[in-house]
Amino acid sequence: MRARNNGNIKLVAGNSNRALAEAIGAYLETPLTKAIVRRFADMEVFVEIEENVRGRDVFVLQSTSFPANDHLMELLIIIDALRRASASRITAVMPYFGYARQDRKVGPRTPISAKLVANLIAHAGANRVLTLDLHAGQIQGFFDIPTDNLYASPLMVRDIKERFDLRSLTVVSPDVGGVARARGLAKRIDAPLAIIDKRRERPNESEVMNVIGEVTGQTCILVDDIVDSGGTLVNAAEALIEKGAKDVYAYISHGVLSGGAVARITASKLKELVITDSIQPTEAVRVARNMRVLSVASLIGEAIGRTSSEESVSSLFD
């Protein structure tokens, strides 16, 4: 069997998700490069790479998750340090790319922050980007450097096949914007698709949740890229149960889970929320009665190995 590290790979981790970084290192049989990533008293970020990286193929492991701005700044400064240390190639590995939801002007005089963040990463000195389940595929075009967008769906499909009777499953998109993503997963398990259509009929009236598709007596699997406040998910689960669904589960790539999201989901009608470790799960997530985490460590590790050896990454998803 070929070695997973071709001998040239270096892995440098920020502080956003050390557990995932260690697991990626274990997959690649490569210890994390010794580096100091710390704060000065005024909270400025300071970085020192403690090993020689001259001429090496360096992968910086950092999700721009909460606290998003600190973690983004760590990523930029690590990249700068590596560039000045003569790394031959630097890949920003962002299992979760924060700011992705700000991908268009939502009104006059508003920013496109996802584009700004992409510019910052490239200008800091990254030569490539490796990420997972981007909020919108087109965000790849915000980067003027090669960008690989991995998918957690094969992991989810494997888990679903192991746990459910596929004959009574319906995959559900919690909103119209997520239909392509949900349809992709439904196809892989040969299940029907339903869609939740949220509509505010008149101003100042609450939203009506219409379910398009048959869910009566079905086990429903909600599919989305991000769970943040949990509002979308909890409302969708309620609408499905109201329409006669037997049980509702959710498979969501990025567990942002801000504020009271964990408590909201724990208290909801959702049987189980399955997320990945693209964002480091908090203690509350780890002990929650209806949450489970699938690891993307081997998927990302494999993609890093293939990138370094100039092998196909897309064939991981054939």
Catalytic residues, which ones?
198
The residue among 137 and 217 lying less far from ligand R5P, judged by its C-beta, is: 137
C-alpha span between 280 and 95 (Å, rounded): 10
The residue among 227 and 245 lying less far from ligand R5P, judged by its C-beta, is: 227
Could you give the C-alpha distances from 91 to 51, 162, 259, 307, in angstroms and in order?
17, 34, 31, 9
Inter-residue contact 102 to 114 (CB < 8 Å): yes
The residue among 64 and 307 lying less far from ligand R5P, judged by its C-beta, is: 64
Supply 217's token pair.
């007596």
Closest approach, Cβ 175 to ligand R5P, in A, equals 6
The residue among 192 and 260 lying less far from ligand R5P, judged by its C-beta, is: 260
Contacts to ligand R5P by CB under 6 A: 177-178, 224-233
3-state secondary structure of 11: strand
Give CA 312 to chain center in angstroms: 21
Smallest CA-to-CA distance from 281 within 88, 48, 23, 36 is with 23
3-state secondary structure of 304: helix
Closest approach, Cβ 101 to ligand R5P, in A, equals 6
Closest approach, Cβ 256 to ligand R5P, in A, equals 7
Inter-residue contact 296 to 25 (CB < 8 Å): no
Closest approach, Cβ 231 to ligand R5P, in A, equals 4
C-alpha span between 123 and 156 (Å, rounded): 35
